């Protein structure tokens, strides 16, 4: 079984400032890791994913995340945020075994950009 | 390429009724997963269908059921609705090889009164 902890439920950040959204996971098996974004009244959009290989993963909209196996973390970062980044962000994990499509999500972090 | 389509977008039902939600996956995708999103419990996995077979199931009561048709379209049914079933129900489709690219629909907002 897997679990995901997002330590911050809300993060306010000034426009053009950097941001880091934290995510820690727990799993007894190898995992894939994801960050999704949800805008109001919308579904989830994939920002980036880690499957294997380089631990620094780049995604859409200027976001990146670093997989740290020893700390079981997958923190999301952006060097300079924009008003349009205001949304809820979800970290998720799935087992890496074939046929395992189940995503286990964290509780989400609401990112608010202050003009 | 059309995205994942969920219908209807909004539903209001009365306690005790049943409801059916529909999800049309992206063309070529064989896996459809369903999630329930509520303010209290967050995003929770309901079940996943692959080639018309339920392949994974979450921890929901038997009132929640689903099926998948030969064209990969999926339906989710909730019987004997309770107030606590009010939620955003999200459908996700993928190729099914678990390499991680799931595409989500916009969801169906179910309100039980």
The predicted model gives B63-70 an average pLDDT of 97
Residues B9-32 pLDDT 10s: 999 999 999 999 999 999 999 999
Structure tokens at A84: 């349009």
Q: Using an 8 Å CB-CB cutoff, list chain A residues near B44.
A: 105
Query: How far out from the chain centre does Cα A16 lie?
Result: 20
> Which of A99, A101, A107 to probe by mutation at the B interface, max B CB count within 10 Å?
A101
Closest-CA distance of chain A to residue B65, Å: 16
Residues A19-56 pLDDT 10s: 999 999 998 888 899 999 999 888 999 999 998 888 99
User: CA B49 to CA B76: how far, in whole Å?
Assistant: 11
The predicted model gives B73-98 an average pLDDT of 93
More confident residue, A102 or A66: A66
Q: A83 Cβ partners below 8 Å, 6+ apart? A: A15, A113, A115
Residues A77-107 pLDDT 10s: 999 999 999 999 999 998 877 777 789 999 9
More confident residue, B109 or B101: B109
Residues A67, A74 contacting (CB under 8 angstroms): yes
Cα-Cα-Cα-Cα dihedral of B45, B47, B50, B51, to 10°? -150
Q: Using an 8 Å CB-CB cutoff, list chain B residues near A104.
A: 45
Average predicted confidence (pLDDT) for chain A: 93
Query: How far out from the chain centre does Cα A39 lie?
Result: 14
Contact between chains at B90 and A90 (C-beta distance less than 8 A): no
More confident residue, B43 or B97: B43
Task: Give the β-pairing of B42-50 and B31-38.
Answer: antiparallel
Contact between chains at B98 and A97 (C-beta distance less than 8 A): yes
């Amino acid at each position: 079984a897997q679990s995901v902890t997002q330590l911050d439920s809300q993060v306010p950040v000034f426009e053009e400032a950097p941001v880091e959204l934290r995510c820690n996971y727990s799993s007894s098996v190898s995992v894939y890791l994801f960050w999704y974004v949800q805008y109001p009244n919308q579904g989830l959009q994939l920002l980036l994913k880690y499957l294997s290989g380089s631990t620094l993963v780049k995604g859409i909209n200027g976001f990146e995340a670093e997989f740290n196996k020893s700390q079981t973390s997958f923190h999301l970062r952006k060097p300079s945020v924009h008003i349009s980044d205001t949304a809820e962000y979800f970290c998720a994990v799935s087992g890496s075994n074939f046929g395992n499509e189940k995503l286990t999500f964290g509780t989400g972090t609401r990112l608010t950009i202050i003009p | 390429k059309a995205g994942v389509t969920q219908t209807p977008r909004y539903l209001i039902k009365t306690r005790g009724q049943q409801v059916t939600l529909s999800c049309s996956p992206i063309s070529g995708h064989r896996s459809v997963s369903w999630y329930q999103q509520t303010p209290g419990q967050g995003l929770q996995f309901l079940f996943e269908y692959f080639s018309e077979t339920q392949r994974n199931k979450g921890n929901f009561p038997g009132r929640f059921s689903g099926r998948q048709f030969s064209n990969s379209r999926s339906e989710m049914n909730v019987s004997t609705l309770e107030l606590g079933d009010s939620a955003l129900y999200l459908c996700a489709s993928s190729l099914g090889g678990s390499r991680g690219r799931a595409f989500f629909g916009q969801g169906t907002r179910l309100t039980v009164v």
